Amino acid sequence: MKAIIIGSGIAGLTAGAALSKAGHEVTIFEQYQRPGGVTTTIEKDGYKWDLGQLMLEGFGKDEPIGQILLELGIYDQVSSAVDQRGYVFPDFEIRTPETYAGPQWRMQLLKDQFPEEAKGLDKYWKDYLRFSKLMTFGRKADKASGFAKTLLMARLYWTLLPLLPKAKWNADQLMSHYFKSEKLKMVFTSILADFFTLPSDFQGLGIFMLNSELSFDKRVPKTLAANTDQLYLYSMHGGINKLNQPMISLIESKGGKILIESPVEKIVLENNKVTGVQVGGQFHPADIVLASGDAKQIFFNLIGKENLTDDYVQLIENQTLMDSVFMVHLGMDMDPSPYVHGAVTYYYGTYDLVKSLNEAQNGVYHEGRDGFVVHVPTLHSPEMAPAGKHALTVYTICPDTLKEGTWEERKEEFADKLLTYTEKYIPGLREKTLTRVILTPADFRTLTNAKHHAFGGLAPVMNRPYIKHQTPIDGLWFIGQQSESGGGVFNVLPSSYKVARKIIDG
């Protein structure tokens, strides 16, 4: 079968690798000057920095993404290390203890910080274990078949029963069930800022997934109790680009093509069936087309509203997208490790997540005041900088479009302001900077061919409508971070693999 894929982000590459391996003829068209979408490593003056995503879940051999890499036969070509992240709040921090203090050290640290919430933290922990068990049965059932699957599903529902009353709660409701302190609630919900999603809009039980104890300390046992597994967080040795390379090689080794600087202008249809795509005015025939990227661009510009039902147009109009990121990449003549908590540290400047998100949604950039993330890839991959030097990235979430001025006009000013906030934690940062690269939402729009850059794709808003992978157009599949499975490599990679498997298996 002849398959055309639009976009060479991790969604397009995964689907392309699976289809090529199964013997299908694959061509990937990429509008940008290099493959990879946002899973890319950029380079300047001997320094390398990653764009998205900086830390990844589930790359172990027995974990969801690791298993796909094994099935593709490229697991051994992707080298990653189990990692952890640190959290700094305005008046306390969650720092991984030097000496391992047991799986509940974080709970104990929070009890010391919020003694009146000790009972709530115990209740939280009990539900955390139950939720982890639920996920474990879910993952096992996903891989099983026949009677084994039925049995696992039965155990899954049995585990779910006590959590059922909470299944319809949003994150605000769940947090209020355990805790009174707004500060403590924020410890668990702060990560939602990265998703541009208010706790009142986010599925409550999802909070457990975003707060894996393993992500704060890699020494915590992966299996906390029988059938209660957590997923590790990983850093990619040499940069996120190293994930793309084996997929690209696999596609090319099977005769597949990845054509860069080749924007698809049109998806060609005949009687509601795809027949191919148009690139540079030329028609390229295909039996199937898998499209990733910006949903509005794909459905409204490449297909045209006239080819869609009113309901489908409405569905696409109604998608809730995230906003963007502002990134400053630095080449450093200093070792930042004494000041950071490892490769990724989240610094929060506020406990008022709602105010911060509301401002961002109205085009007001907080300039670093409300928080930022510091990534130091050279802590796991020294080769990403010249010998003895370090690569460091500071990023914040930000509006795609500013209320006042443009990103291009204001990027230097914003970079300086952001670094001023960062210097509160990493003294001497600017003085020791040898080179820098600034990336704004405008750059990300160009990189991803989006009118609105949504850095993780769909915002995980509860009960939102979504665009299914299998579209109403015969032979057209929609994959990637704006499709039904949502954003993040952890969602995008397995879901596009599943789409490819569905096509392969008929």
Binding-site ranges for ligand FAD (CB under 6 A):
6-12, 29-32, 37-39, 51-54, 263-264, 292-293, 297, 325, 395, 448-449, 455-457, 480-481, 487-490, 492
Of 36, 6, 72, 3, nearest to 479 by C-alpha is 6
How much is the CA Rg of the chain, to the nearest whole Å?
23
Shortest Å, Cβ 149 to ligand FAD: 27
Nearer to ligand FAD, 50 or 127 (CB): 50
Give the separation between CA 451 and CA 161, rounded to whole angstroms. 43
Give the separation between CA 64 and CA 57, rounded to whole angstroms. 9
Nearer to ligand FAD, 159 or 496 (CB): 496
Nearer to ligand FAD, 138 or 263 (CB): 263
Shortest Å, Cβ 291 to ligand FAD: 8
Nearer to ligand FAD, 136 or 292 (CB): 292
* Helix ranges, 254-349 (H): 295-296, 310-317
- CB of 377 closer than 8 Å to CB of 239: yes
Which tokens go with 134? Answer: 């639920």
CB-CB neighbours of 165 under 10 Å: 9
Residue type present at position 411: K
Cα dihedral sign for 39, 488, 393, 361? Answer: positive
Shortest Å, Cβ 327 to ligand FAD: 6
Nearer to ligand FAD, 105 or 478 (CB): 478
Residue 315 half-sphere exposure toward CB, CA atoms < 13 A: 17
- Name the one residue in this structure whose structure tokens are 């409550």: 204
Host H or E run for residue 442: helix 441-448
* Helix ranges, 114-145 (H): 118-143
Which tokens go with 433? Answer: 């900077």
- CB of 380 closer than 8 Å to CB of 242: no
Nearer to ligand FAD, 113 or 245 (CB): 245
Shortest Å, Cβ 451 to ligand FAD: 11
Shortest Å, Cβ 194 to ligand FAD: 6
Shortest Å, Cβ 161 to ligand FAD: 29
Shortest Å, Cβ 397 to ligand FAD: 9
Q: How far is CA 395 from CA 102, 333, 417, in A?
A: 32, 20, 12
Nearer to ligand FAD, 371 or 488 (CB): 488
CB-CB neighbours of 157 under 10 Å: 12
Nearer to ligand FAD, 120 or 256 (CB): 256
Nearer to ligand FAD, 35 or 103 (CB): 35
Nearer to ligand FAD, 37 or 103 (CB): 37
Shortest Å, Cβ 306 to ligand FAD: 19
Counting every residue, how long is the chain?
506
Host H or E run for residue 29: strand 25-29
Shortest Å, Cβ 32 to ligand FAD: 4
Shortest Å, Cβ 116 to ligand FAD: 32
Give the separation between CA 148 and CA 159, rounded to whole angstroms. 17
Nearer to ligand FAD, 41 or 449 (CB): 449
- Work out whether strand 433-439 and strand 324-332 pair parallel, antiparallel, or are unpaired: antiparallel
Give the separation between CA 173 and CA 187, rounded to whole angstroms. 15
- CB of 261 closer than 8 Å to CB of 278: no
Nearer to ligand FAD, 51 or 74 (CB): 51
Q: Give me the DSSP letters along 175-220.
A: HHHH---HHHHHHHHGGGGGGT--GGGSBTTHHHHHT-GGGT-TTS
Cα dihedral sign for 238, 240, 243, 249? Answer: negative
Shortest Å, Cβ 50 to ligand FAD: 8
Shortest Å, Cβ 418 to ligand FAD: 14
